[in-house]
A and B are shown apart, each in its own frame.
Chain A
């Protein structure tokens, strides 16, 4: 159903010529439309809430108990809880952004996206915004429950800076998801394996459960390509200031890196989508199921 209330076009050519305002309005509607099921899903699928909180929380608890068994300083417990919350966003990026176009193809929605008069970036932006809202509830729950159960204490001296770092982390994170969405579709059946590959190996490289600097020489490479690691390192410096949380780089530098990553990933996602659309129209193969 179109919500557009414009004048009736005289012929097909005229109908196809949209004003800039109409194009923008249409794409904004597409963003809202794609974000809607994820946001409304918060209330309509309570079982999702259970699993999306339970699963990250089980892992968080296991790692907390390992640190307890090792008699580690309490900051490490906080590292794990914060890492568990950010992991929820990463899982959302992998399964509900990167792999999403592949699932959409399997369900027969992808060709609708290609034929609808909107930009595919709007669909991805809608998925990202909806996913961010959806996952925020999970992340808040993991932090809340983890903080209460494990007695984590935070020492946040610059809350606005922490909020800014969090938001700045989300932009390249979901930008990477947008880029992967196109790549996963191109790689076809490998999508499931790729999604698997982007879990534990990324938790390891991202320093989700330990300080990123513990990776040694590899951490330089990680900081260059993985927004999860950079954002988490900066957030830990701000939430648990002290020698144990000493970051790989100063927070300001890490924010600059995150900003640069945001631009690179979003622009790359745009190009990858353009290539994908080109392939879809030329070969007509991308919408075939089971490929």
Chain B
């Protein structure tokens, strides 16, 4: 069923309180679904074991090869591995929220036809997963500091703006992915993992981007995630990545982060608006792919 765009002239538009109410309600819903009404202790174990294990894999790889020397690389690994939880949490959160609501709970069409917009609902609905990913970041860093001897040298002037700007960029990528996945007939569930996996590979999350094949490196330099990770590393541990990226001055890194984010955010919002328009016209909002 296609949802038409005709709006009567006397219908008031969505106000800020409407959006806030929708956002707030969606947060509660997202949390209930995410925690799956499970035992809080078990939920905590499930949630935290995954990122910790992912970091420990890298730590053991590092240990078997270096025997524990080259602690600068260990710091690089731990911070990259910790921060990547945010990217995956945001991407998976936004995409899976929109797909679950369309395919499993089959209520996205009802949200779309209500006076409120899908956008604040979608952000609220996925916030639970984003918050869980932030907990995973903190936990991985804590393990790095207390068990592996990672030395944090926070520089708030770099860390705070880089986290805010970087999160904006990652959210924009997630919003773009959510709109894109609405258009897909099959395998939409696999896209966030595939895209996040691709970004993981080229953003220098766990190895310096100099290691990548030469033809991939320009892609790495064009991504806001690369610059967010680099700026955050400098803000957290006081130095950048090993290799070429680490030689770029802090100011330039921040500037490029701002520039790539300033390009990514409006493009993603425009794309999402177009994807939603197409989804309404093509009747994709109540499509069940069975995938």
Interface residues of A (CB under 8 A from B): 45, 47-48, 50-51, 54-55, 58-59, 61-63, 65-72, 76, 189-190, 192-194, 196-197, 199-201, 203-205, 208-211, 214-215
B interface, by DSSP: helix, strand, loop or mixed? helix
Query: Could you list 7 A-B pairs, sorted by A, with CB under 8 Å?
Result: A62-B200, A65-B211, A66-B77, A69-B207, A76-B61, A201-B50, A210-B60
Which chain A residues lie closer than 8 Å to B187 at the CB level? 47-48, 50-51
B71 on the A face (CB < 8 A):
no
Stretch at the interface among B36-44, B142-150, B230-238, B272-280: B36-44
Contact A55 B50 (CB under 8 A): no
Q: State whether A70 and B36 are in contact (beta carbons under 8 Å apart), knowing that A51-B194, A55-B194, A201-B53 are contacts in the complex.
A: no
**Bound-state Cα–Cα, A205 to B188, Å:** 30
**Bound-state Cα–Cα, A193 to B43, Å:** 8
**Bound-state Cα–Cα, A193 to B48, Å:** 11
CB nearest to B208 among chain A residues: A69
Q: State whether A204 and B73 are in contact (beta carbons under 8 Å apart), knowing that A72-B65, A193-B38, A197-B49 are contacts in the complex.
A: no
Whole-angstrom distance between the Cβ of B214 and the nearest chain A Cβ? 14
B57 on the A face (CB < 8 A):
yes
Which chain B residues lie closer than 8 Å to A203 at the CB level? 53, 57
Contact B201 A61 (CB under 8 A): yes
Q: What 4 pairs across the A-B complex have the smallest Cβ distances? A: A58-B197, A193-B46, A200-B53, A201-B53
Whole-angstrom distance between the Cβ of B74 and the nearest chain A Cβ? 10
**Bound-state Cα–Cα, A260 to B11, Å:** 71
Contact A193 B42 (CB under 8 A): yes
B193 on the A face (CB < 8 A):
yes
Q: State whether A189 and B211 are in contact (beta carbons under 8 Å apart), knowing that A55-B193, A55-B194, A66-B206 are contacts in the complex.
A: no
Which chain B residues lie closer than 8 Å to A69 at the CB level? 73, 207-208, 211, 242
Task: Give the interface size bracket for B toward A.
Answer: 35 or more
Within 8 A of A (CB), among B39-85: 42-43, 45-47, 49-51, 53-54, 56-58, 60-66, 70, 73, 77
Whole-angstrom distance between the Cβ of B189 and the nearest chain A Cβ? 9
Whole-angstrom distance between the Cβ of A80 and the nearest chain B Cβ? 9
Which chain B residues lie closer than 8 Å to A65 at the CB level? 201, 206-207, 211-212
**Bound-state Cα–Cα, A11 to B5, Å:** 63
B198 on the A face (CB < 8 A):
yes
**Bound-state Cα–Cα, A77 to B194, Å:** 22
Which chain A residues lie closer than 8 Å to B50 at the CB level? 196-197, 199-201
Residue A62 contacts which of B49, B190, B207 (CB distance < 8 angstroms)? B207
Which chain B residues lie closer than 8 Å to A58 at the CB level? 194, 197-198, 200-201
| Most chain A beta-carbon contacts within 10 A, residue among B45, B70, B201 | B201
Whole-angstrom distance between the Cβ of B248 and the nearest chain A Cβ? 18
Contact B207 A66 (CB under 8 A): yes
Contact A209 B36 (CB under 8 A): no
B186 on the A face (CB < 8 A):
yes
Which chain B residues lie closer than 8 Å to A205 at the CB level? 53
Within 8 A of A (CB), among B184-243: 186-187, 190, 193-194, 197-198, 200-201, 205-208, 211-212, 242
